[in-house]
Structure 1
Amino acid sequence: MIFLKRNALQELLAWKNREDRKPLVLKGARQVGKTWLMREFGKNYYASFVYFNFDEEDELKSIFETNKSPERIIELLSLIAGEKILPEKTLVIFDEIQECPEALNALKYFREKANEYHVITAGSMLGTLLAQPKSYPVGMVNLLNIHPLTFDEFLSATDEPLYTYYLSIEKEQPIEAIFHTRLLDAYNSYLIIGGMPECVVSWVRYKDPKRVTQIQQELITIYENDFSKHNGKINSGRILMVFRSIVSQLAKPNEKFMYGAVREGGRARDFEEAIEWLVSAGMLNRVYNVSKMEHPLSAFDRLDCFKLFVFDTGLLKHMAGIDNSAILLKTDYQFKGPLTENYVLQQLRGQFDIAPRYFATGSGEIDFVLQHGTEIIPVEAKGGENKSAPSFKRYVSEAEPKHAIRFSKHGYLKNGRITNMPLYLVRKMKELL
Structure 2
Amino acid sequence: MKRNAMQSLINWKNDPERKPLILRGARQVGKTWLMKEFGQTCYANYVYFNFDEEDELKSIFQANKNPHRIIELLSMISGEKIQPGETLILFDEIQECPEALNTLKYFKEKANQYHVVSAGSLLGTILAQPKSYPVGMVNLLDIFPLTFDEFLEATDPALYTYYDSIQKEQTIEEIFHSRLSEACNYYFIIGGMPECVSSWIKYKDPARISQIQRELIEIYENDFSKHNGKINSGRILLVFRSIVAQLAKPNEKFMYGAVREGGRARDFEEAIEWLVSAGMLNRVYNVSKMEHPLSAFDKLDQFKLFVFDTGLLKHMAGIDNSAILLKSSYQFKGALTENYILQQLQGQFEIAPRYYSDKNSEIDFVLQNGTDIIPVEVKAGEDKSAPSFKRYVAENHPAAALRFSKRGYRKDGDITNLPLYLVCKTRDLL
How far apart, in 1, do the equivalents of 2:263 and 2:329 lie?
A: 33
Contact 1:331 1:384 in 2 (8 A): no
Partner Cα separation in structure 2 for residue 142 and residue 48 of structure 1: 22
> 1: distance between equivalents of 2:192 and 2:325?
18
The separation in 2 between residues aligned to 1:287 and 1:402, in whole angstroms, is 22
Give the corresponding residue for 2:97: 100
Which residue in 2 is equivalent to 1:432?
429
User: How far apart, in 2, do the equivalents of 1:106 and 1:345 lie?
Assistant: 35
- The answer for the alignment partner of 1:159 in structure 2 is 156
Q: Deviations over 1:330-383 (max 9, x none)?
A: 331120000000000000000000000000111221000000111000001111
SS of the aligned residue for 2:145 comes to coil
1:293-327 deviation line (CA, Å, top 9, x unaligned): 00110111000000000000000000000000000
Aligned partners of 1:229 and 1:133: how far apart in 2? 21
Q: One-letter code of the match for 1:347?
A: Q
Measure the CA separation in 2 of the matches of 1:349 and 1:231: 25
Whichever residue aligns with residue 241 of structure 1, its letter is L
| 1: CA distance, partners of 2:119 / 2:28 | 12
For residue 232 of structure 1, what is the amino acid of its counterpart? G
The TM-score normalised by the length of structure 2 is: 1.00
Which whole-Å CA distance do the structure 2 matches of 1:328 and 1:167 have between them? 24
| Residue 224, structure 1, aligned to residue 214, structure 2 | no
> Do the aligned residues in 2 keep the contact of 1:380 with 1:388 (CA within 8 Å)?
no
Q: CA deviation at 1:220?
A: 0.1
Task: Note if contact 1:33-1:197 (Cα within 8 Å) is conserved in structure 2.
Answer: yes
- The runs of at least 4 aligned residues of structure 1 exceeding 4 Å deviation read none
Q: What SS does the aligned partner of 1:91 have?
A: strand
Distance 2:131 2:10 in 1: 29
- Measure the CA separation in 2 of the matches of 1:388 and 1:231: 44
- The letter for the 2-side match of 1:127 is G
Instruction: Give me the whole-angstrom Cα distance separating, in 1, the residues matched to 2:307 and 2:376.
Output: 19
1:302 matched to 2:299? The reply is yes
Question: What's 2:287 paired with?
Answer: 290
Unmatched tracts of structure 1, length 5 or more: none
> Quick one: distance in 1 between partners of 2:405 and 2:259?
31
The residue aligned with 1:350 is 347
**Whole-angstrom distance in 1 between the partners of 2:173 and 2:326:** 22
Deviations 1:38-84 (A, max 9, x none): 00000000000000000000000000001111110000000000000
AA of the residue aligned to 2:315? H
Distance apart, 1:231 and its partner CA:
4.4
AA aligned opposite 1:135: S
Matches within 5 A, 1:189-204: 189-204=186-201
| Residue 5 (structure 2) pairs with residue 19 (structure 1) | no
**Whole-angstrom CA distance in 2 between matches of 1:334 and 1:252:** 9
Q: How does 1:407-422 map to 2 (within 5 A)?
A: 407-422=404-419
Matching residue of 2:82: 85
**1:14-413 equivalent positions in 2, closer than 5 A:** 14-413=11-410
Q: 2:4 aligns with which of 2, 7, 11?
A: 7
Helix, strand or coil: the match of 1:20? Answer: coil
1:365-413 Cα offsets, whole Å, 9 max, x none, are 1000000111000001111000131000000000010100000010000
Q: Residues 143-167 of structure 1, C-alpha deviation per residue, up to 9 Å, x if partnerless? A: 0000000000000000001000001
Distance 1:410 1:327 in 2: 16
Name stretches of at least 5 consecutive residues in structure 2 with no aligned partner: none
SS at match of 1:289: strand
Q: Give the partner amino acid of 1:104.
A: L
Instruction: Please give the root-mean-square deviation of Cα atoms over the aligned residues, in Å.
Output: 0.5
Please state whether the residue corresponding to 2:300 is helix, strand or coil: strand
> Cα deviation per residue 1:233-286 (whole Å; 9 max; x = unaligned)?
100000000000000000000000000000000000000000000000000000
Q: How many residues align?
A: 430
> Identity of paired residues, percent?
78
TM-score, length-normalised on structure 1?
0.99
Q: Matched residues in 2 for 1:145 and 1:56: separation?
A: 24
- 1:12 & 1:388 partners in 2: Cα distance? 43
Which has the larger displacement, 251-260 or 360-369?
A: 360-369
